[in-house]
Amino acid sequence: MSDIAGTPITVSAPQAEPSLHRVMGPWLLLLFIVGDILGTGIYALTGQVAKQVGGVVWLPFLVAFIVALVTAFSYLELVTKYPKAAGAALYTHKAFGIHFITFIVAFAVMCSGITSASTASRAFAANMSSALNLGLAGTFGITAIGLGFMALVAAVNLRGVGESVKANVVLTCVELTGLLIIITIGMMAIMGGQGDVSRVLEFKTAGDAGAFWPVIAATTLAFFAMVGFEDSVNMAEECKDPSHIFPKVLLAGLIITGLIYVLVSISAITLVPPEQLGEGETPLLKVVQAGAPNFPIWIFGFITMFAVANSALINMLMASRLVYGMSREHVLPPVLGKVHATRRTPYVAIGFTTLLAFALITFVGEVPALGGTTALLLLCVFTVVNIAVLVLRKDRVEHDHFRTPTVLPILGALACAFFAGPWTGRDPVQYQIAGVLIGIGIVLWIVTVMVNRATGEQPSAPDPDDFGRVGPMN
């Protein structure tokens, strides 16, 4: 889930901040990390992945896990080397020292949060329609529910939301319960001779296409399911003995979620043929109906709705806070940094990010396009982070820290850049969406530069309390 940087924005006079309380042991940290990664991706995109590769739906999730794992090693070196400056934008600034590059990375992270929240909003609407038998699939009704849900998220965001590790644990249990239900249903069906296990090794691609490129294309979607591991490094400051336990626990969390995704994929494809799994936007509901027809479908529908709703809320909190922070650092227009007098929340930033989400839900709509754009933006950010690790090797620190083998950030940068490229078969609309979002950021940055020159204001170095300690979650 998100870190404590998702708390409401308040304005106060500058003062020395106390250090964070180190309360998280390895087990609580592990549950937190697993919850940070689990979410909308596996609930919403399993069917779309199956549509591209057929029965080997588990393979793209496995490849995405490997790419995430390699990049996680880079984050581990950076977060243990700079424990007070967690976040891609801050690592970028330390490595390159160029304000514009730092801004682009921060804005890309913000945009990935909005596209992720929009994906969750669409998934919420589709699952609500199926769970309540509203019959809205494929109609404007799904979009209308998604817009209404996003408006509710904005209202909650405006009111102010405080989060805690305990709340994250509860929400993690809900998300995990839904996936364990799918795995249990699948395993019981397999043991009972139900379904077709042989499908898990079947490639089904369009025309005479080989297996390689369809798997690569599907991986660009499946990578969205791994979003969140990079945000969990922000909890290192609240861990007991983080230099020793955090690397092991983060890697364990990635392995656990990767295993869950593979088992969910196997259960799904065993019970539902890939062509049926790829229809609509509620693939896991179909699995429950096929494997346990007597299971109350509305219960699983509400579990799914609850899981993706939390993803949307946290991501919109993160996005609005990033906009607020960048405004405060004078790299976005100052109006975006205004705080509500009574609620003490960044109401203009919330309005700005909500309008972007409304536009995405209305004019893009489809989950694959939104989820794929989230993965595209983050793959570009991860490419920069992997390079930053190598650049910062020349920067020595006095304390001991985790050091990843040099080959891993090299492989990570190459892999992330590869999966972000058009040769993967990625839908061109994802580049259009990302281009429009980043273009909006560049226009706002140019306007801000002109205002700064007119007023004599100079942007300061990025402050981790403003936009370094937040990131998107799945």
Contact 324, 336 (CB under 8 A): yes
CA distances in angstroms from 288 to 188, 222, 308, listed in the order given: 12, 21, 18
Q: How many CB atoms lie within 10 A of CB 406?
A: 11
**Which of 138, 118, 184 shows the shortest CA–CA distance to 371?**
118
- Distance of alpha carbon 474 from alpha carbon 471, whole angstroms: 10
- The pLDDT assigned to 56 comes to 92
Token pair, residue 291, equals 């494997």
CA–CA separation, 263 and 225 (whole Å): 14
3-state DSSP call for residue 10? coil
Per-residue pLDDT at 470 = 58
Instruction: Write down the residue that tokens 């967690």 correspond to.
Output: 86
* Angle (CA) 340 168 145, round 5°: 65
Q: What is the DSSP string of 240-277?
A: SSHHHHHHHHHHHHHHHHHHHHHHHHHHHHHHS-HHHH
Contact 68, 226 (CB under 8 A): yes
Identify the bridge partners of residue 203 per DSSP, sorted by sequence position. Answer: 54
Determine the pLDDT at residue 8.
42
Span between the terminal Cα atoms of the chain, in Å? 8
Up-side HSE of residue 294: CA atoms within 13 Å toward CB?
0
pLDDT reported for residue 166: 56
Q: How many residues does the chain have?
A: 474
pLDDT recorded at residue 168: 58
Residue 54, classed as helix, strand or coil, is: strand
What was the pLDDT predicted at 1?
Answer: 39
Q: Where are the alpha helices (DSSP H) in 18-139?
A: 26-37, 40-53, 58-81, 88-96, 99-131
Give CA–CA dist 353/357, Å, rounded: 6
Residue 295 is given by DSSP the state: S
Six-digit token pair at 218? 């599907």
pLDDT of residue 12: 41
Residue 16: both structure tokens together:
């020395």
Pairwise CA distance, residues 283 & 225, whole Å: 14
Residues with Cβ < 8 Å from 50, sequence gap 6 or more?
57, 268, 269, 274, 277, 278, 283
Ranges of residues in the chain whose predicted pLDDT is under 50: 1-21, 85, 163-164
CA dihedral (234, 240, 242, 248) positive or negative: negative
- Token digits for 36? 């940070």
